[in-house]
Amino acid sequence: MRPFYIDYPQEKIAEHQHAYRCLHCKIPTTIIFGLLENHAKDCVYRTHQGRWTQLEASLRPQKTHFDEPLIDEVD
């Protein structure tokens, strides 16, 4: 499941009563729909969040595969 991002800075679209857009890339929130890849490729928020996501992934402990003998006997 992809992460859902709604914490980006937004500004009101002047022509519309209840419409907002990203403060950095000016794409409406209805098009972004909480997805990082829906921001513009050069959006400051997207590049910043992308770096944090990559750093977080690199810091996660890596699971290694262990060949453990399977014990299926019951005493």
pLDDT category, 66, cuts 50, 70, 90? low
Find out whether 9 and 39 touch, Cβ atoms under 8 Å.
no
17-57 residue pLDDT tens: 999 999 999 999 999 999 999 999 999 999 999 888 778 77
C-alpha to C-alpha distance for 34 and 20, rounded to whole angstroms: 13
pLDDT at 13: 95
Mean pLDDT of 53-72: 68
pLDDT at 56: 78
Which pTM value belongs to this model? 0.69
Query: In terms of DSSP H, where are the helices of the chain?
Result: 29-32, 44-59
Which of these, 28, 20, 19, 26, lies nearest to 44 by C-alpha position? 26
